[in-house]
Structure 1
């Protein structure tokens, strides 16, 4: 992954303003609830008169017609202001947006933001050191960063599992609200929610991805990926060099290549599950087709269980379905269904908080019971973090920090693998760990408020989808450029164009590590955040507005 956070559509146009605050918990970003679904009770407004192309001309339409030069100057000023990250622009323009109201689901934004940052670190760090993926064994792998729990700082695979849980949660929030009512269900509202969710889900996920494919074509044409020449794998990149499009000579051929590559990604892989078909643009987006297919399956689960008695659905059907799917290695859908289960529990929490108790019934909560409950939730998080740290490639070592004992407890559907066969035992235990973490956080409001509702964490939650889509562009351009030039300056490695190979002039040492780590935190990551911030406002939010506009044009009334 509806919570709109009190945000209202502009009443004049789709102007790409620098102070556009966006929304929270959008249904169809990498884990947000329905941004494009209006709700009168939340004060949402949909501007039915605004058109899809209005924002193109809106930047200068309100300026008095004193001549072409002032209008051009105003347009360029506004354009360059738009390129400034949203967390900096208020200090330049002097326009500070009002504080946003935090809703009960704000902690999911924060959790999604943290998970996305970890994925970005994962894709960067594992390119230069595959050793980080290995389990700590006390003999051959003794880095502190390999230890359980600490490993979660850079371990991206369990973060994907958390993404899916949040998706299941936020995609079903509205349906849960509609099916929770006693008596007759508002069938019209429920069918409207499920129907629009199905067709919007694809567009919401894939429009920003399509834009990223086009941007990638321009980046390739400008030669910005050539810090590591196409088809080479320098030894200083010990991990995976992500596939990228080849240079097609000119921008027109490059754009045509991008269109064909997107067809493979958005049609063949997504709808026909052609696993052997490979696309070359942003291969880390493999989660998007999985996200889409599991979302559609989840809508079927919601539709199939909406008329069941709530106790039967929540406390029997959903836990059983989650367990069966997870055991049979359909872990993606299992996580979505588990998110649906948590959404039902969340509705119970909100209902209990909104129901006033008679004065006589109000008693001071038992201190002993409160302590035990807190210990249970803390224990769930710690155990969950330990299981989520389960490494991939367990067959390579038998001396790990306890993980070797879990191999025998893993269902047979998850083979250990070896050689060219992937190890799948990690999928099972990471799923279990991720479930425990999110479940415990649901009942820990203090942690939600102190950590997950922090301003910085909430910001990363807002831009998480854009950050997920865009970080590969910066890693393969700015990231490699920084490392290549840093290694050159340190006299360690350089590319010999005449010989067509990388030449080593030194070894891996503290200087090498400082270049990799320092280059990321001082240059690459800040550039990634700025690039994602612009993409969030220019593409992510605009796709939301486009879908809201499109809905008013194609949806039948009544």
Structure 2
């Protein structure tokens, strides 16, 4: 106010203040002043404010970037980004990653018994069908693989169905080029802190919580940081070997056994897309279905999941082209019904085509009822979840009510291959993605903000959670149990719940940082590399 008084005095003359009759006189004089002069005054006035703490304020503002992305300030006029058509896949992947973290938490804090099949209604709720998926690892990983098969084939299949083969070939080449760095580069970069953690002895060194199912990881602890870095590099080279093909247990992060399997399955999808690029759509559907059946017959469970994801994506395109309900997609997949324009010259017996036409007309009338559609989709969804959550045979799966018949139907070849627990969950994972893909009302559960956020950070979340659990999580569990005690079940649960709350905050925070500063950057780097090295059309 003092500066304002001086300014008014200068405007009215140098002879001092002129007596004002009322406050209106002052406001009128100020309003008559040139706005540019007011701006000049404001600027001078702001410069004269002390700036002793401005440098600290600037540094603090820079630290905002370290907060989780959902805590960043946003403009009130900023509109949320529109969700793309397959956004539900991202949400489903995020929910599956969320459950994988709970699975590994259950292993370091609880006994194996919570993973047993349920025997009566007096058992813990977590052992009940469907509910048990919240702490199941392998079924959720299988959902990952189906989603990958779907996502990798979605764009090439769409372009092929639009007869844009040149663009489809380019998209396929780009995906193949970028797949290895997309998978392995974030894994290595986000696990670099494991070098210091192992050297400092931050891991649990093979110890375990009271009654826990598994001990903590115990990577080799070297004498010097340089030796530790070399050991990590050798382990990372084995993990990133593109020709290994099989699952590799990694001492620094055992959850990454899925990456070589993911890479191999991706190459299977790329190979199928290339081999069938010039095949008619209906024939491609039939051939992909036969490949999936072959994988199922010969116990190639991972390949079946990727090929199954590709089959689900192509089925959705087929049903979208014909404009029919999802039930007709099964007929298209079997090659019994052709989209309009592809039936000319067909040599199928007329009797078979007539029977199929009658059956599909009946099926169309049934599906015209919206309530019946929702009921059928919901039953299919629950059925897929029920089969997906089948307990392992060594955890009482063959004796669990509701699963005995399924256990008896597992093919002998799968038992001989040592993977009987993979048969039914693999089928259920494809079944689940297929059901959600044809039920928009089910997709809403995976397009909410929480599921979409989990989808964005799902890959970094998967990469960082296990080292953090076996180091920070283990020590938090010990610390909180020291406060609450573990002599009773209630005290143990309270201590573990407090530890889980702290661990989840840290894991999500680190995964968020990993998503923004590593995962997104690697995706851009791989695309940049392909753009720089790729051959342009008509160029060299």
TM-score by length of 1: 0.74
Instruction: Please name the residue that 2:378 is paired with.
Output: 378
Instruction: Please name the residue that 1:337 is paired with.
Output: 307
In 1: Cα distance, 2:482 partner to 2:264 partner: 45
Residue in structure 2 matching 1:135, options 95, 98, 117? 117
In 1: Cα distance, 2:57 partner to 2:226 partner: 31
In 2: Cα distance, 1:294 partner to 1:119 partner: 20
Q: Cα deviations across residues 305-332 of structure 1 (Å, max 9, x unaligned)?
A: 1211111111x21222112201211111
Q: CA deviation at 1:347?
A: 2.2
1:246 equivalent in alignment to 2:220: yes
Instruction: Please name the residue that 1:166 is paired with.
Output: 147
TM-score by length of 2: 0.77
SS of structure 2 residue aligned to 1:390: coil
Q: Cα deviations across residues 26-80 of structure 1 (Å, max 9, x unaligned)?
A: xxxxxxxxxxxxxxxxxxxxxxxxxxxxxxxxxxxxxxxxxxx999969854652
400-409 or 538-547: bigger deviation: 400-409
Kept after mapping to 2: 8 A contact 1:135/1:391: yes
Instruction: Please name the residue that 2:27 is paired with.
Output: none
Q: CA deviation at 1:96?
A: 7.9
Instruction: Please name the residue that 1:82 is paired with.
Output: 65
Distance 1:123 1:236, change over 3 A: same
1:272 equivalent in alignment to 2:250: no
SS of structure 1 residue aligned to 2:252: coil
In 2: Cα distance, 1:526 partner to 1:220 partner: 22
1:511 equivalent in alignment to 2:491: yes
In 2: Cα distance, 1:399 partner to 1:193 partner: 48
Q: List runs of 5+ in structure 1 lacking aligned partners.
A: 1-68, 355-363, 493-506
Structure 1 residues 52-131: aligned runs within 5 Å: 76-77=59-60, 79-90=62-73, 98-129=79-110, 130-131=112-113
Structure 1 residues 249-398: aligned runs within 5 Å: 249-267=223-241, 270-273=242-245, 278-314=249-285, 316-351=286-321, 369-394=369-394, 396=396
Kept after mapping to 2: 8 A contact 1:135/1:394: no
Kept after mapping to 2: 8 A contact 1:470/1:531: yes
Instruction: Please name the residue that 2:507 is paired with.
Output: 528
In 2: Cα distance, 1:406 partner to 1:212 partner: 40
Instruction: Please name the residue that 2:454 is paired with.
Output: 460
In 1: Cα distance, 2:461 partner to 2:249 partner: 23
Instruction: Please name the residue that 2:44 is paired with.
Output: none
Distance 1:134 1:242, change over 3 A: same
Q: Cα deviations across residues 196-228 of structure 1 (Å, max 9, x unaligned)?
A: 222210011011011023121133344433xx3
CA radius of gyration, larger in: 2
Instruction: Please name the residue that 1:484 is paired with.
Output: 478
SS of structure 1 residue aligned to 2:399: coil
Instruction: Please name the residue that 2:21 is paired with.
Output: none
Q: CA deviation at 1:124?
A: 0.7
Q: List runs of 5+ in structure 2 lacking aligned partners.
A: 1-51, 325-363
Q: CA deviation at 1:132?
A: 2.0
More helix by share: 2
In 2: Cα distance, 1:310 partner to 1:552 partner: 30
Residue in structure 2 matching 1:234, options 208, 228, 235? 208
In 2: Cα distance, 1:309 partner to 1:348 partner: 12
130-139 or 548-557: bigger deviation: 130-139
Kept after mapping to 1: 8 A contact 2:207/2:216: no
Q: CA deviation at 1:383?
A: 1.2
In 1: Cα distance, 2:431 partner to 2:506 partner: 34
Distance 1:511 1:528, change over 3 A: same
Kept after mapping to 2: 8 A contact 1:463/1:536: yes
Kept after mapping to 1: 8 A contact 2:100/2:136: yes
433-442 or 454-463: bigger deviation: 433-442
124-133 or 111-120: bigger deviation: 124-133
Kept after mapping to 1: 8 A contact 2:269/2:306: yes
Instruction: Please name the residue that 2:171 is paired with.
Output: 193
Instruction: Please name the residue that 1:63 is paired with.
Output: none
- How many residues are treated as equivalent by the alignment? 446
1:217 equivalent in alignment to 2:217: no
Instruction: Please name the residue that 2:410 is paired with.
Output: 410
Q: CA deviation at 1:478?
A: 2.3
Kept after mapping to 1: 8 A contact 2:266/2:306: yes
